[in-house]
Amino acid sequence: MAKKQKSKPGSSTIALNKKAKFDYQLQDKLEAGIVLLGWEVKSARAGKVQLTDTYVIFQNGEAWLVGAQFSPLPTVSTHFVAEPMRSRKLLMHDRELARLQQAAEQKGYTVVATAMYWKQHLIKVEVALGKGKQLHDKRETEKERDWNRQKQRLFQQA
């Protein structure tokens, strides 16, 4: 019997929020499920998802993903009106939900979505607690990134 080949580690990623890593100091990362409609799943399969400026709010003991944009495919959303920017419910355990909500309310953290990916046949969202960076912190991040690029170039030349 032939062994099943594993897919590459980065191939299951649907969307990344690179801006969150630049704007926030990310600390605790959690995995959450997401409630989607059929056309949204098809858009995710086609890679038509954006997580830029996406954050999580808490209402009535539930977590909601706000700002995620699922672009509707023209062949799928012909018989109804699609809402690309609607809020979507996140599925987490009560303990995780309470911990995130408490940190967001008391300690001044923001809960942001950093990635969306496939886990077997389910779509998962990685959410993280983030503390906003000051301008000088962002400049330091840019300097560090530039220095790492220069080091890579020097090593490649040698």
Read off the pLDDT of residues 2-44 as tens digits, 9 standing for 90 and up: 444 444 444 688 888 888 877 787 888 999 999 988 888 888 8
DSSP state at residue 67 = S
d(CA 75, CA 78): 6
Question: Percentage helix, strand, coil, to 5, in the chain?
Answer: 35, 35, 30
Rounded to two decimals, what is the model's pTM?
Answer: 0.73
Instruction: Name residue 96's amino acid.
Output: E
Residue 14: strand, helix, or coil: strand
**What are the pLDDT digits (tens) for 58-116?**
999 899 999 888 888 888 766 777 788 889 999 999 999 998 888 888 777 888 999 99
pLDDT band at 130 (very low <50, low <70, confident <90, very high): confident
For the record, the structure tokens of 85 come out as: 């920017």
Q: Which pLDDT score is estimated for 6?
A: 44
Residue with tokens 């080949």, as numbered in its chain = 5
Task: Please state which of the four CATH numbers 2.40.280.10, 1.10.10.10, 3.20.20.370, 3.40.190.10 is assigned to the domain occupying 12-132.
Answer: 2.40.280.10
For the record, the structure tokens of 7 come out as: 């897919």
Residue closest to 63 by CA, chosen among 87, 44, 86, 40: 87
